[in-house]
């Protein structure tokens, strides 16, 4: 595996590879890698000749400064895991190369309200910062394939929207959510759960599965209030639960005539914020 911290050196290497006719796949991450990330690396390897992973804890997508400070950082371990997986390139950029003072990296596109619901409502500015860094990284890496996780459903919906709006020459590939054996979605934030909260957190996936069983059988409002109650009784704090159209992310009251329905949830487990989602009807493709 090649490790690059300099943008210039990365680009020299990737240009060489491209001149040999090789294709590039790219997995952007914020590090503290787990098996979910590794599954995306494997997907990237399936799609292209050269797999590139970036680790960059992007300050512009953190609306909560404390969350940014507390975000786990373990570069040596991450590099070891990627090397073991035969990832070709690890890019760990310096912040001044991602955001040079003389370069306007902001993304100004119409988001059609996709950024205002769910995560957008509770983490104002988060998606603006996320799109900014993904666009900047794509501009640097110039990948043929961008690989992201279904775990962040709204995130990839917005990235897909940006790719279309800006006509970016990249194809988005979505990897399924990897879970612990008890159903908890793998997340770098799980490391911060107390033992008590770690034990309680699988209720999130249990509730999503319950919603999947109930969709079409019960009114959505009733399904959601039951989940709200289960989560609260467990001692977790619900931030939102929304059953939405999987394309437009609009709230649904009635599942009929909607071929693609997703439940998205955000829950506080102590001071750790966890998100998850499950497709209740239809599929990604």
126 assigned to active site: no
Which positions ≥6 away from 84 have C-beta within 8 Å? none
Per CB under 6 A, residues contacting ligand AMP are 29-30, 36-37, 39-40, 148-149, 151-152, 175, 177-178, 185-188
Distances (CA, A) of 125 to 121, 140, 148, 187, 226: 9, 23, 20, 21, 31
Would you state the structure tokens that stand for residue 134, as one six-digit string? 């993904």
Residue 245's SS3 state is strand
Question: Least separation, in Å, of the C-beta of 265 and ligand AMP?
Answer: 14
Question: Least separation, in Å, of the C-beta of 210 and ligand AMP?
Answer: 20
Which pairing describes strands 171-175 and 145-149: parallel, antiparallel, or unpaired?
parallel
Separation CA 143–CA 221 (nearest Å): 42
Catalytic residue among 37, 126, 161, 258: 37
Report the residue number, 261 or 274, with the smaller CB distance to ligand AMP.
Answer: 274
Question: Least separation, in Å, of the C-beta of 276 and ligand AMP?
Answer: 9
Backbone φ and ψ of 221, nearest 5°: -60, -40
Separation CA 7–CA 140 (nearest Å): 7
Separation CA 243–CA 258 (nearest Å): 11
Report the residue number, 156 or 220, with the smaller CB distance to ligand AMP.
Answer: 156
Report the residue number, 150 or 242, with the smaller CB distance to ligand AMP.
Answer: 150
Report the residue number, 39 or 258, with the smaller CB distance to ligand AMP.
Answer: 39
Question: Least separation, in Å, of the C-beta of 37 and ligand AMP?
Answer: 5
- Catalytic positions, please? 37
């Amino acid at each position: 595996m090649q490790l690059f911290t300099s943008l210039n050196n990365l680009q020299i290497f990737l240009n060489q590879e491209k001149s040999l006719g090789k294709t590039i796949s790219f997995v952007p991450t914020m590090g503290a890698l787990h098996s979910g990330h590794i599954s995306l690396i494997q997907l990237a390897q399936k799609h292209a000749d050269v797999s590139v992973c970036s680790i960059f804890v992007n300050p512009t997508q953190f609306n909560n400064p404390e969350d940014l400070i507390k975000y786990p950082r373990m570069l040596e371990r991450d590099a070891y895991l990627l090397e073991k997986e035969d990832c070709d390139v690890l890019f760990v950029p310096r912040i001044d190369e991602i955001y040079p003072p003389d370069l306007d990296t902001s993304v100004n596109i119409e988001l059609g309200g996709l950024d205002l619901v769910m995560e957008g409502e509770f983490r104002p500015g988060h998606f603006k910062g996320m799109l900014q860094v993904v666009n900047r990284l794509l501009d640097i890496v110039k990948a043929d394939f961008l690989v992201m996780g279904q775990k962040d459903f709204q995130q990839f919906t917005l990235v897909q929207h940006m790719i279309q709006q800006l006509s970016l020459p990249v194809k988005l590939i979505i990897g399924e959510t990897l879970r612990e054996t008890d159903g908890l979605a793998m997340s770098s934030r799980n490391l911060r759960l107390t033992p008590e909260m770690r034990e309680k957190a699988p209720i999130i996936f249990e509730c999503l599965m319950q919603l999947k069983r109930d969709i079409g059988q019960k009114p959505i409002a009733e399904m959601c209030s039951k989940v709200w109650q289960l989560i609260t009784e467990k001692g977790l704090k619900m931030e939102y639960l929304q059953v939405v159209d999987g394309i437009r992310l609009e709230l649904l009251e009635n599942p009929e005539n909607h071929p693609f329905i997703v439940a998205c949830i955000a829950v506080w487990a102590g001071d750790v914020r966890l998100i998850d989602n499950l497709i209740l009807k239809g599929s990604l493709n």
